[in-house]
A = this chain, B = another copy of it.
Amino acid sequence: MEKQHYTRDDMAGLLRGHGINPTHQRIEIAYALFSRQEHLSADQIMAIVNDRHSETSKATVYNTLNLFKLHKLVREVIVDPSKVFYDPNTGPHHHFYNLQSGELIDIDARDVQIQGLPALPTGMVTEGVDVIIRIRPQHT
């Protein structure tokens, strides 16, 4: 487990460490993700950030998440055709995806080996490997 209690100041440092200018909105969005360590959709992030008084526009939420993605601060998780999840865990890991509840559970990739994969097409390079195990309650 990593550090558990992040402050907004930690976020500013984190952003700077990734070459991102830490504005108020960016700090709030980062804080939403990192303080919960959960997989959130853009929608959910917007709801969290604008909980009390509306502060941050839709455009900024999307801009910021794309910026974070570009700087490898968060990762996109694509498991549901209807929405993308953003994952503050950028270490190598895979996912259980609970089809009933929509919940995502991390699987540390260091424990997992995948064998017997064919060679990559020539001239190609691996950008990332996603393993998604879709699960559901027994006896549905």
Where the two chains meet, the residues of A that have a C-beta atom closer than 8 Å to any C-beta of B are 76, 78-81, 83-84, 96, 98-99, 105, 107, 111-118, 120-121, 123-138
Contact = CB atoms under 8 A, between A and B. Distances in A.
Nearest to A132: B130
Given A78-B81, A81-B76, A99-B127, A133 B112 contact: no
A84 B83 CA distance: 12
Contact of A125 (B79, B121, B124, B138): B138
B107 A124 contact: no
A116 B112 contact: yes
Does more than half of chain A's interface fall in helix, strand or loop, or is it mixed?
strand
Contacts of A78: 78-81
* Tally of this chain's copies: 2
A117 B123 contact: no
Contacts of A132: 129-132
A126 B96 CA distance: 9
Nearest to A135: B124
Nearest to A110: B116
Contact of A133 (B123, B126, B134): B126
Contact of A123 (B105, B118, B121, B138): B138
